[in-house]
């Protein structure tokens, strides 16, 4: 077992450039990192500096709106899957204390003339009328990160000995979510509920998560030896980690690593932190039954069989978004 001191850095162009040697090296490095630590940092991901700057400016404008205005976009009955989710509404799977955050969900947009029947499964996106650019800016980021995710899943497929395009159809019009998050300032740290943190220790639900660099430190991952280490990335990188669905599919060969966002020092509790993860989900009908090639005498089957849709519903209930 290799104990990484930091998250390995990769260049997505090594995979997409057509150079077979660079591509193979990328696959091996990514696969080994996902097997040992569950996280990587990637550059040349397709989201430009200008797009990232505009995206952060736009979502900060939204979160600066008053609570009553934001709550207009909190839609009952959607289990938080579109629009705004208010402060403290979500908690980690094994916690009953709400996280110190609020967030907004943008989901898959499928053209009205697309014959794909899955279009009927998804609720419509909700976009704030107060911000004219919000829809365009968030959907552009969604598409860029989704495209990068497809390439990364192709590399994962090759590492697992599958056909390179194994995941393509499974994530086409998938149930992916872009989630701008605001870890809101706390003016009185003494009023924070016991155990409340910006994001309690958790694993992500989805296949992989692509995370743009946050506006402040705080993200940590739990290494396999029990040590928490900070997750940092250069300004031109995004962080990518394995989610629970991919962990299930690979029978824990690729690791969904527990991570958290810790509170800042007391003197900085009155400052905001913003981050924007893209949770890459497959279509709901994807079978998450563990691959036979990932099961053997040394690593017997660990998970029950279920679809991605069934697993998502189970987890949404566990984190407090679905009753």
* Residue corresponding to tokens 């706390």: 186
Burial 20-37 (b: 16+ CB within 10 A, else e): eeebeebbebbbebbbbb
Distances (CA, A) of 221 to 61, 74, 242, 258, 320: 29, 30, 12, 6, 23
Pair of tokens at residue 222: 């739990």
**What CATH number was assigned to the domain covering residues 14-318?**
2.60.120.330
Residue-level pLDDT at 319:
82
Residue-level pLDDT at 234:
83
Residue-level pLDDT at 215:
65
Residue 63 has pLDDT above 80, yes or no: yes
pLDDT winner (highest mean) among 75-84, 87-96, 285-294: 285-294
Do you know the residue count of the chain?
Answer: 323
Residue-level pLDDT at 92:
78
Whether residue 145 contacts residue 210, with contact meaning beta carbons closer than 8 Å, is answered with: yes
Residue-level pLDDT at 181:
96
Residue-level pLDDT at 321:
82
Q: Confidence class of residue 191 from pLDDT cuts 50, 70 and 90?
A: confident
Number of C-beta neighbours around residue 155 at 10 A? 24
Residue-level pLDDT at 216:
66
Residues 15, 141: Cα–Cα separation, whole Å: 21
Radius of gyration, alpha carbons of the chain: 19
Which tops the pLDDT comparison, 4 or 296?
Answer: 296
- Give the mean model confidence (pLDDT) for residues 235-261: 95
Residue closest to 175 by CA, chosen among 134, 118, 128: 118
Helix (H) or strand (E) holding 273: strand 273-280
Residue-level pLDDT at 78:
87
Residues 235, 43: Cα–Cα separation, whole Å: 9
Residue 220 has pLDDT above 90, yes or no: yes
Residue 163 has pLDDT above 80, yes or no: yes
Residue 85 has pLDDT above 90, yes or no: yes
Residues 81, 98: Cα–Cα separation, whole Å: 17
């Amino acid at each position: 077992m290799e104990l990484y001191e930091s998250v390995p850095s990769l260049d997505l162009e090594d995979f997409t450039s057509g150079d077979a040697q660079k591509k193979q090296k990328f696959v091996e490095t990514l696969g080994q990192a996902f097997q040992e630590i569950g996280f990587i940092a990637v550059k040349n991901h397709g989201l430009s500096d200008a797009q990232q700057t505009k995206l952060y400016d736009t979502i900060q404008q939204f979160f600066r709106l008053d609570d009553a205005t934001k709550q207009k976009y909190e839609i009952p009955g959607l289990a938080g899957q579109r629009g705004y989710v208010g402060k403290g509404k979500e908690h980690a799977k094994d916690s009953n204390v709400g996280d110190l955050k609020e967030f907004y969900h943008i989901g898959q947009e499928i053209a009205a003339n697309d014959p794909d029947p899955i279009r009927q499964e998804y609720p419509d996106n909700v976009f704030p009328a107060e911000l004219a650019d919000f829809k365009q800016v968030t959907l552009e980021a969604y598409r860029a990160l989704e495209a990068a995710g497809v390439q990364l899943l192709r590399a994962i497929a090759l590492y697992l000995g599958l056909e390179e395009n194994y995941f393509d159809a499974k994530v086409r019009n998938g149930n992916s979510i872009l989630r701008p998050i605001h870890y809101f300032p706390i003016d009185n740290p003494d009023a924070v509920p016991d155990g409340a943190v910006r994001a309690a220790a958790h694993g992500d639900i989805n296949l992989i998560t692509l995370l743009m660099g946050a506006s402040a430190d705080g993200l940590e991952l739990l290494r396999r030896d029990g040590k928490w280490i900070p997750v940092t990335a250069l300004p031109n990188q995004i962080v990518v980690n394995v989610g629970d669905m991919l962990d299930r599919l690979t029978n824990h060969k690729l690791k969904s690593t527990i991570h958290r966002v810790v509170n800042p020092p007391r003197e900085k509790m009155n400052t905001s932190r913003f981050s924007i993860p893209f949770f890459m989900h497959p279509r709901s009908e994807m079978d998450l039954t563990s691959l036979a090639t990932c099961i053997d005498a040394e690593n017997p089957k660990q998970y029950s069989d279920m679809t991605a849709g069934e697993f998502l519903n189970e987890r949404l209930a566990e984190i407090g978004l679905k009753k």
